[in-house]
Chain A
């Protein structure tokens, strides 16, 4: 089956595509091809968008200054001593010097001409994107596979990686996240769609019902979140105790 058909089948939750990917000897290669295709598409568009933004150095300076102002405003809201307020006032007065420093940093000469350096950075970002998706997919698939086996699943890790790769397909939507208004909704749609594909894929690979497959996908992430919260609380308590003892 051509990669584009597999891609479309994944997006439409076509069970035949899932079964075919599970049983195909070259399923992992085809899964990785989908990740490569999606990653390069998203990476190319996002880095092209970033490239347009950085071609105007004054725009970068304005962005940095905007963040600088916002950060100082936040600190001002929490400052409760005259010394803190004085430092923040002096930092606010330093805005022009900070802007000049950013301008000087941007214009430091490089061995390669600046446009070439910028294009190389954009290519670097583009080729890194498929690996970012692959890494996330492998982690999700590994934890899901472990949970699925504990819940009575019978599938193998190779089939799980092959079918799990299909969950990256909806992330093609990330290519449009450079549009500020669409950034959050599109990311959420891609994530949710990918989640549904992973649940369907787990059910096919491990021959589990939808409930168990959903549990398999959610089990370890939920445990990790709970553990993270508990660890955060313990660390917070330790810090408070330490501060009180000093």
Chain B
């Protein structure tokens, strides 16, 4: 088992895009194991920070049900609502706000659940991305093994150290995706000895396919919704 300080150094080298670290990771005989540990370490620390931040922001925010209650009472007091109720005496906001409360209550815990799932999400996305990027790199003439691809792209997860900022409640994380992609590009270039443009496409094919699939899915869902609405 590698020491934590070694794994920390490895991941921060990924965060600061150190080309020597990527080359060393390519030639590391335990590249896959170290890569796995780096992603897991970053995921656990970010997850723990996120749990603390979530708890603090929950404590510092008003209860969502109380907010909904204030809004409902506020709307009911307005002359506009009184006029609408005069026109339609059956008008009642209660069912709408009850339904809204049913949606909002589980949402309160979504942040906490997401935070706990962070290490697993990081590991899973690293494996899926690594698999797609490896196929792309090999088809573009890359020479690296699957273990080298995963080992080098794992360093890119060092960009997720930025997400530790979530330990502060209400803090917003930004920049991890682009920095992570730059890290993956450097990782693939090092692992497969690819020229710049080929490494660029190998790094981007996975995200591009994902975006295209999401767009197709959204268009499909929209078409189904329109068809359903027209069918009524």
**A residues at B contact (CB < 8 Å):** 25-26, 28-29, 32, 87, 90-91, 93-94, 97-98, 100-101, 104-105, 108-112, 116-117, 120-121, 123-125, 127-128, 131-132, 134-135, 138-139, 142, 146, 149, 156-158, 161
Q: Which of B18, B78, B165 has the most CB of A within 10 A?
A: B78
Instruction: Tell yes or no: B17 within 8 A of A by CB.
Output: yes
Asked if A104 contacts B83 (CB within 8 A), the reply is no
Within 8 Å by CB of B174, from A94, A105, A112, A128, lies: A128
Asked if B169 contacts A120 (CB within 8 A), the reply is yes
Asked if A138 contacts B179 (CB within 8 A), the reply is yes
Among B64-72, B139-147, B212-220, the stretch in contact with A: B64-72
State the CA gap A161–B61 with chains docked (Å): 37
A46 CB → nearest B CB, Å: 14
Within 8 Å by CB of B165, from A90, A94, A104, A127, lies: A127
Cβ contacts under 8 Å, A109 to chain B: 62
State whether A124 and B74 are in contact (beta carbons under 8 Å apart), knowing that A93-B79, A138-B175, A139-B178 are contacts in the complex: no
Instruction: Tell yes or no: B205 within 8 A of A by CB.
Output: no
State the CA gap A93–B77 with chains docked (Å): 11
Cβ contacts under 8 Å, B16 to chain A: 26, 28-29, 32
Asked if A94 contacts B62 (CB within 8 A), the reply is no
- Secondary structure of the B side of the interface? helix
Within 8 Å by CB of A108, from B17, B67, B179, lies: B67
Asked if B74 contacts A104 (CB within 8 A), the reply is yes
Not counting A97-B77, A101-B75, A132-B172, a sample of 4 additional A-B residue pairs whose C-beta atoms are within 8 angstroms of each other reads A123-B170, A156-B19, A157-B185, A158-B17
Chain B residue total in the interface (Cβ 8 A): 43
| The 7 A-B residue pairs with the shortest CB-CB distance in the complex, in nearest-first order | A101-B74, A124-B170, A135-B175, A117-B60, A135-B174, A108-B62, A94-B78
State whether A90 and B79 are in contact (beta carbons under 8 Å apart), knowing that A25-B18, A108-B70, A131-B162 are contacts in the complex: yes
State the CA gap A97–B83 with chains docked (Å): 14
State the CA gap A125–B170 with chains docked (Å): 7
21 A-B residue pairs with CB within 8 Å: A28-B18, A94-B79, A100-B77, A101-B70, A101-B71, A101-B74, A108-B70, A110-B59, A111-B59, A120-B168, A121-B169, A123-B171, A124-B57, A124-B171, A134-B175, A134-B179, A135-B174, A142-B178, A149-B196, A149-B197, A158-B186
Asked if A134 contacts B80 (CB within 8 A), the reply is no
State the CA gap A128–B61 with chains docked (Å): 18
State the CA gap A139–B58 with chains docked (Å): 32
Cβ contacts under 8 Å, B79 to chain A: 90, 93-94, 97
Cβ contacts under 8 Å, A91 to chain B: 78, 80
A119 CB → nearest B CB, Å: 9
State whether A120 and B178 are in contact (beta carbons under 8 Å apart), knowing that A90-B79, A90-B80 are contacts in the complex: no
State the CA gap A116–B61 with chains docked (Å): 11
Asked if B19 contacts A158 (CB within 8 A), the reply is yes
Cβ contacts under 8 Å, A156 to chain B: 19
Asked if B80 contacts A128 (CB within 8 A), the reply is no
Instruction: Tell yes or no: B56 within 8 A of A by CB.
Output: yes
State the CA gap A112–B138 with chains docked (Å): 55
Asked if B169 contacts A124 (CB within 8 A), the reply is yes
Instruction: Tell yes or no: B194 within 8 A of A by CB.
Output: no
